[in-house]
Amino acid sequence: MKRKKFHPSSLYLCAVLLLMYLPVVMVVIYSFNASKSDVQWAGFTLGWYQKMIHNESLMDALRNSLVLGVSSCAISAVIGTVGAVGLAQSDFKTKGLLENVAMLPIMIPEIILGMVFLAFFSFLGLPFGMITLIIAHTAFCIPYIFIVVKGRLAGIDRSIGEAARDLGASEMRMFFDITLPLIAPAILSGSLLAFAMSLDDVVISFFVTGAQTNTLPIKIYSQIKLGVSPEINALCTVMLALTFLLILLSGALTKTKKGKPIKPTISKEANQ
Amino acid sequence: MKKVKNYNWALVLPIYAFTILFVLIPLIYIVVLSLLRKDILWGVTNEFTLQNYRKMFDPVYLRTFADSLGLAFGTTVITVLMGYPFGYFMAKLAPKRRAFVMLLVVVPFWTNALVRIYGWMIILRAKGVLNHLLMSLGLIDTPLKILYTYGAVLLGMVYSLLPFMILPVYTSVEKMDWSLVEAARDLGANAAQAFLTVTLKLTLPGVLSGFVLVFVPSIGLFFISDLLGGGKIMLVGNLIKNQLMQARDWPFGAALSVVMMIMTFAIIFLYRKLTHSSDLEEFF
Amino acid sequence: MKKILSLVLAAATCAGLLAGCGSGGGSESSAPQSSAAPASEASSEAGGTESGGELNIFTWDGYFPQDVLDGYTEQFGVKINMSNFESNEEMLTKLEAANAGDYDVIVASDYIIDIMRRKGGLLKELDKEKIPNFKNIDPNFQSQFYDPENLYTVPYGPGTPLIVYDPSLVNVDIKGYNDLWNPELKDSVVIMDDARNVIGITLKTMGKSFNETDPAVLDEAKAKLMELKPNIRTLAMNNLQDVILSGEASVGYMFTAQVVMALQANPELKVVYPEEGMGFGIDNLIVPLNAPHEDNAFSFINYILEPEVGAKVSSQIMYLCPNKESAPYLPEEYKNNAALYIPSDVLGNTEFIQDVGEATELYDKIWTEFKQQ
């Protein structure tokens, strides 16, 4: 399709997008505000960024959150993907049930889930800390990856796999050479989402964390006594900038790979 | 094939284990908790009771459910009106731009939800950005009171949930068979008629999917009504949180959660009946 | 609940990656890699139960000034681990599951300490031999309902919620809670989003106690509370001072630290000591029964009770100063703050908010009804 000329519908798209970014832009602007409260504009400053970097407990919490996000996301990516692939090729009687049950944690109010995890871990006698955090986050991250990968697998033409097997490919080879590249975008997007969820979770984290591991969201929400610090605005801005950078980077990466011949056709088929 | 099956057992074992440990057990825990009597001082007793469910029929608490459903309905209607055209236009963009717009829609969700709502507070308050703008344009003389109203909550809800209407609509429009529209045009229908009789009908599953994805969570989101509504609108989500954290009544909070989950299931069940699709994530 | 939505986000990114370019994530199979490293780090963290050079504090974020913490670490060589909670109820749920261990020093509010003491098995009796500075505590803040014999607690953040208003916007001469009902204040009052405090001041205007349990009286209070509704601009728990400073509301009933912050930002604001009698609350330092580093906990409490340190704490966290020896070290600005230096004859008739047992349910119902639009 050739590039179209300007169309009035673009105006609508832009208007709605503008609305979506308005509050985000405010957060960015007020991270440069000299005043401690975000009530009035008191001049430009980079002070909050400086304070943020030198705030040891904030950086500690950030580091904990990143470690937690990456590891729980990675573990649940393996379990969720492997599970979805295994289920897609099988016909256990409990399959349908499992698929339905896997959706459930998404519907249980977080605060209750947190309390259950707390009771459960203390029953098992696990020491609260990074380990319990990772287990709990893995538990609530799995469904996202599982469901997204499952949806992607359902779109893949089984005959491709069968053809490969007919050509003598082993089970392992088939998975790594054919299935995995096809579902990779789903795994990636599921993981990105799981990471975002992990990075945003307060309630469950609070209940399962230990005396020595604070996470970033817990810190933000527990500022209730003395007011939320603008350092948080600064931190959000930095994280937003990083997200955009990541997107640009992945955009550039996909561009350089464009020459590959087979995959686009397959994914087009799979897309239907 | 038999060999493959054995192999699969090992593959699905972890996910089965995790599901049983972290989904079934919590579920049982909630149901049991909702049937216990609360301890006056702290926690629960070992006594079983149906009191927590009976309590829900008190007009005060029924009203909370009604208010929640009302707000959820309003939110859904507005998101359909705003999100449908967006999803539709987006699907008609060139593929490259389409992907770009899609990312733009999703990216704000990678920032802290609470902080984004603070962003809206900065805009809406009496001496805020919006009032400044309106006053400098000479449209108003005194600042409007927008923050802490029902309208502000509705705005916050629509803002937070709009993508979940846009995306399913987009998917269903993208998947649509355009030759049917052309056929209708060939048979003499004008653009509006073709849209109403063909396009709308074909994209209805997307709208319904969006309906579920917007309606269900809007019952439970509590921090929006706390922050933008000034705590003056009580939703089921707020009620549950209050039971657990202020009234120290865990069993009632659990009972409310059970009812909320049943409502969620009912809506999804209805959706499946209506669309004859087996899964909510049909549009993936 | 919002989680269900995020699924769609995943779908979107997935579709986006596909649409952007078919060859999207071919090399992403290496994603699950770094799972081993954090696990080993965690296990080393979890093993810190033997008494050593550490101290685990559990409190709201920002409730201990950083320079005070650093000072303690420097002097005693003890590493401080800070973890945070959002509410007292969260803290107690957590502490019970940890079997009254894991943490060494906790800051908690009066009523929850009362519950903890009555439940038993949660609080450690303070070893006053190890806290010689215990004598510095102002007895006005001691021997309260939650700890009549001063066995478990050291007052840390005492405060009283006060009314604060902007005289340039309000034509009413506000003297007490009852003035909040004045029809002139339509849609201009900000008040804390807390059942017990708000129903409490309603009871006060009726000459009753903050802790009333009689259903008939509570019913009357409910009727009166409903009349307050048109005046309420917003209910909130944090940053209440911003609501006044931004001109969103002109009158507020809020916690001490918030009143102080409002006054610091706008000295023109007026503070009211409500004539019906003030509510009062004390956040205390406590040591849980099975604290892993008990000796450090006592030495930390002793350090906080040093006159100079106490002054540093109170002037930064903006609560009343419970250390009677700290007075000479308190900055002038602190002493001149009307919300912090309350004349003792006024402060005299204060009342704590206590657990009301069975009546909790009634309070919740009134509150739910009040918050419905």
Query: Is residue A18 assigned to a domain?
Result: no
List the structure tokens of A105. 């944690």
Query: Is residue B44 assigned to a domain?
Result: no
**DSSP assignments along C312-352, one per residue:** HHHHHHTS---BTT-GGGS-HHHHT-TTTS--HHHHTTEEE
Say what the pLDDT of residue A6 is. 67
Res. A255 pLDDT band, cuts 50 70 90: low
**Average of pLDDT values for A64-93?**
87
Quote the pTM value: 0.84
**CATH number, domain with residue B164:** 1.10.3720.10
Say what the pLDDT of residue C315 is. 92
Residues on chain C touching A131 (C-beta within 8 angstroms): 39, 42-43, 46
What is the percent of chain A where pLDDT is above 90? 20
Say what the pLDDT of residue C369 is. 94
Is C111 annotated as a binding-site member?
Answer: yes
Q: Which is more confident, C45 or B198? A: B198
User: Which residues neighbour C70 within 8 Å (Cβ) at sequence distance 6 or greater?
Assistant: none
**CATH number, domain with residue A223:** 1.10.3720.10
Distance of residue B126 Cα from the nearest chain A Cα, in angstroms: 10
- Which chains touch B (3+ CB pairs under 8 A)? A, C
Say what the pLDDT of residue A254 is. 60
Say what the pLDDT of residue B279 is. 52
Say what the pLDDT of residue A267 is. 33
Query: Is residue A171 assigned to a domain?
Result: yes
Say what the pLDDT of residue B57 is. 94
C242 touches chain A (CB under 8 A): yes
B72 touches chain C (CB under 8 A): no
Inter-chain CB pairs, B–C, below 8 Å: 155
User: Which residues neighbour B204 within 8 Å (Cβ) at sequence distance 6 or greater?
Assistant: B172
Q: If you measure CA to CA, which chain B residue comes closest to A91?
A: B5
Query: Is residue A267 assigned to a domain?
Result: no
Residue C341 phi, psi dihedral angles, 5° rounding: -100, 85
Centre a 10 Å sphere on the Cβ of residue C121 and count the other Cβ atoms it contains.
11
Number of folded domains that form chain B = 1
Query: Is residue B235 assigned to a domain?
Result: yes
- pLDDT of A11 > 50? The answer is yes
Measured CA to CA, the distance from residue C201 to residue C278 in angstroms comes to: 9
User: Which residues neighbour B198 within 8 Å (Cβ) at sequence distance 6 or greater?
Assistant: B180, B181, B184, B189
Q: What CATH class is the domain C162-280+350-371?
A: alpha beta
Where chain B has pLDDT below 70, the residues are 1-7, 277-284
**Average of pLDDT values for C290-309?**
96
Distance of residue C219 Cα from the nearest chain A Cα, in angstroms: 31
User: Taking the alpha carbons of C57, C60, C61, C66 in that order, is the dihedral positive or negative?
Assistant: negative
Q: What ranges do the domains of chain C cover? A: 52-158+282-341, 162-280+350-371
Query: Is residue A247 assigned to a domain?
Result: no
What is the total residue count of chain B? 284
Q: Are A129 and B51 in contact (CB under 8 A)?
A: no
Is the CATH number 3.40.190.10 carried by domain C52-158+282-341?
yes
Among residues 40-99 of chain C, which lie with CB inside 8 Å of chain A?
A: 41-43, 45-48, 56, 58, 60-63, 81-87, 90, 93-94, 97-99
Select from A175, A212, A256 the residue whose CB has the most chain C CBs within 10 Å, as the one to mutate to test that interface: A212
Residues on chain C touching A75 (C-beta within 8 angstroms): 32, 35
Q: Which is more confident, B66 or A4? A: B66
Measured CA to CA, the distance from residue B130 to residue B133 in angstroms comes to: 5
Domain housing A136: 57-227
Number of folded domains that form chain A = 1
Question: What is the value of ipTM here, to two decimals?
Answer: 0.85
Res. C29 pLDDT band, cuts 50 70 90: very low
Say what the pLDDT of residue C18 is. 44
Q: B104: buried, middle or exposed (CB in 10 Å: 19+, 13-18, 0-12)?
A: middle
Contact C6 A190 (CB under 8 A): no
**Average of pLDDT values for A194-199?**
81
Least confident window among A106-120, C91-105, C320-334: A106-120
Domain housing B103: 51-283
Q: Which is more confident, C156 or B220? A: C156
Contact A27 B116 (CB under 8 A): yes
Query: Is residue A124 assigned to a domain?
Result: yes
Query: Is residue B12 assigned to a domain?
Result: no
Q: Do domains C52-158+282-341 and C162-280+350-371 have the same CATH topology?
A: yes
Contact B42 C1 (CB under 8 A): no
Say what the pLDDT of residue A103 is. 65
Query: Is residue A251 assigned to a domain?
Result: no
Residues C74-126 have pLDDT tens digits of 999 999 999 999 889 889 988 988 889 999 999 999 999 999 999 999 999 99
- pLDDT of C132 > 80? The answer is yes
Query: Is residue B179 assigned to a domain?
Result: yes
Measured CA to CA, the distance from residue B194 to residue B178 in angstroms comes to: 11
- Considering just the CA atoms, what is the radius of gyration of chain B in Å? 24
- pLDDT of A106 > 50? The answer is yes
CA distances from B141 to A116, C170, C247 (A): 54, 20, 15
List the structure tokens of B256. 């409310």
Q: Are C249 and C233 in contact (CB under 8 A)?
A: yes
Say what the pLDDT of residue C33 is. 35
Residues on chain B touching A136 (C-beta within 8 angstroms): 22
